[in-house]
Structure 1
């Protein structure tokens, strides 16, 4: 069962009089961004070294989150003296705290073993430098990005090809090594497709110590496998899975780590792939691709169907089904309280918002009027502190009968 923590802004669903929304364009919900980043701050952002025992496997239960989102909207009383022409509700920030399902290890052993590995050995010489410079790793990574080899439904992440660092993102879900027998991007894509919330993956080679404790899968000096600097290595091929689309700035992990006394763990051939289209959502038409732009409703936006915006914690995957549930709940709320002129939510724009190109936050904007691609004009903005806010992976979803393509 997924554990959740929902953080609501002040004056949740209460309306603010004399809102600037009556006078200006539809700005991005940048005021809630830092809160969303903080909400996912304690989440793991990259896979562990080696094969961790026990292995932590994250799970995403959309239904459990939907229930909390719906309750937060429908059960919230309106502000006093609220009029149907008042401004839209303030932003709601939802933080998903995913549970961990622990895969138990075998009973503790008291000896060292040679680990199971699935990658080619680089033994002449067996050094970190030889590993990161091995031409075979680069060749495999580059070959995987050729059009014929890219998994169906995925795209290569620009500038995230054949690197020596890994992806880091708070939407990290889990990883696999044991399910791979080679540098197999199509196998990784198939696993991503069956993993709840998965949107992208990072495949790479990892240099790890060959001799490890059977119980813990890491070096143990007391058992005679200390992990010295000159210890023999093994190669793991891994795929790490993420709930948000990886981008070039996601490649920011340390270039190396140490295990045991002084064994240097390094990486090679690190390449990322992300889904090339937005997921479909039950009960909604679309998605229509808006690319790197969000909808910018005409001003004053309150009179042109804009209802509200919503941001999610950085550990929440790109999951438009959450927005669909929130959209439906907003319709119920508006009808019950005559909020936003009683408008039904008929369209939402799901996208990712970045601050200075980093830490993407899943965001949704809701509307009582459907808008097509010709209104996707908000490619970002700059605040008074000099921060640059940009958009990516923007898609539109429509209730049947409200579909607009232009």
Structure 2
């Protein structure tokens, strides 16, 4: 499957003063969230089984995406902004995964994990004590990578992460169940915020062309076919949570069962710094809730991004600066400059996080981080995670 990386910008410019709802309170961006999810519906959300069709990932270029965000803000006229709620969101292509075309043939795969042979069954694989021991050792304080934290309730599972922010994975580069090596790769991968390390049971014999069993090439993938163990690290642009783990069994060839063990997730424990802004100030699982009426208390607008755009507050910073230019040029939002933004992830019914930014002409601190979620008229529960505040110099507020 080709991964489509998109950015959705829900431009609410001018709508603050036009909407009575926004005058009363600051709501979460329900509509633009749903647009983000719909636009990313066909995105890849987890690594392929085995090494099926190797992947090459083009680097996420935050500067290029930020330029698109700025252009979308600055070039939007007030008249167009007033109608933005009825217009389709802007979708900007960012990058694609490319796949190669290897030669044909049937081969014995290479693998980097210990074989489970006596018995060689899915049940023996998932209950292997060595896999559980490696996973549980990885979350001990001395072994957790610097700058990361183990995801609560996502330790030593038989399930793997599925999230639309999936970037890529590595296997052959790993010589063992090494979380520090995975963290180093994540740190060097643009847009990476979290990773999932795990053992995967795969068939030993595969097609050279497709990297999966192929009966026509003499490797049918029967139920009792010999297995191999891959150690994998999959990387994601959004913080993983416990509900990201999905226990999905797969079959390859005629009947070979692929299963997982020792699956553990880690996410970065602090928000990234942003050039030109102070912070991040941690707001945890709450977003800023400006006093009502919000139009008189600095709230400018809210912006959501595509489901597989990474958690990248530098995009918010670019949009915040563009908002200042726009407001001054068009005398929108009383001409206020954007001096503070709240970057966070919004979840619908505890899944499918969407990167979101809210912009303000007045700085707010942790005492205003009160919006831990809302329930809409359809009964959906909306919650917040990984919430951070960023301030233009001279506007830093810790607690006000």
TM-score interval (norm. to shorter): over 0.9
- From 96, 99, 107, the counterpart of 1:100: 96
1:219–1:259 Cα contact (<8 Å) kept: yes
Would you say 1:31 and 2:25 are equivalent positions?
no
- From 107, 111, 119, the counterpart of 1:117: 111
- Deviation string 1:233-267 (CA, Å, 9 cap, x unpaired) is 0000000000000001101241x111111111110
Would you say 1:393 and 2:386 are equivalent positions?
yes
Query: Residues 74 and 372 (structure 1 numbering): CA distance in 2 closer, same or farther, change over 3 Å?
Result: same
2:7–2:305 Cα contact (<8 Å) kept: no
2:272–2:313 Cα contact (<8 Å) kept: yes
Distance 1:47 1:116 in 2: 17
Offset, 1:295: 0.6
Would you say 1:128 and 2:128 are equivalent positions?
no
SS in 2 for 1:191: helix
Look up the match of 1:50.
50
Query: Residues 329 and 180 (structure 1 numbering): CA distance in 2 closer, same or farther, change over 3 Å?
Result: same
Would you say 1:69 and 2:69 are equivalent positions?
yes
Look up the match of 1:299.
292
SS in 2 for 1:371: coil
Distance 2:184 2:354 in 1: 25
Compare 344-353 and 96-105 and name the one that shifted more: 96-105
Offset, 1:216: 2.6
Q: CA RMSD, aligned part only? A: 2.3
Compare 156-165 and 88-97 and name the one that shifted more: 88-97
Offset, 1:405: 0.9
- From 142, 145, 151, the counterpart of 1:148: 142
Offset, 1:64: 1.9
Listed as ranges, the gaps of 5+ residues in structure 1 are none
Look up the match of 2:199.
205
Listed as ranges, the gaps of 5+ residues in structure 2 are none
Query: Residues 4 and 64 (structure 1 numbering): CA distance in 2 closer, same or farther, change over 3 Å?
Result: farther
Distance 1:247 1:53 in 2: 28
Offset, 1:211: 1.1
- From 328, 340, 353, the counterpart of 2:321: 328
Look up the match of 1:384.
377
Distance 1:97 1:127 in 2: 43
- From 225, 228, 238, the counterpart of 1:234: 228
Distance 2:55 2:22 in 1: 52
2:162–2:244 Cα contact (<8 Å) kept: yes
Across the two proteins, how many residue pairs are aligned to each other? 396
Distance 2:381 2:5 in 1: 31
1:176–1:239 Cα contact (<8 Å) kept: yes
Look up the match of 2:310.
317
- TM-score, structure 2 as length reference: 0.93
Would you say 1:187 and 2:143 are equivalent positions?
no
1:218–1:260 Cα contact (<8 Å) kept: yes
2:170–2:234 Cα contact (<8 Å) kept: yes
Distance 2:369 2:16 in 1: 26
Query: Residues 4 and 178 (structure 1 numbering): CA distance in 2 closer, same or farther, change over 3 Å?
Result: closer
- TM-score, structure 1 as length reference: 0.92
SS in 2 for 1:309: strand
SS in 2 for 1:390: strand
SS in 1 for 2:288: coil
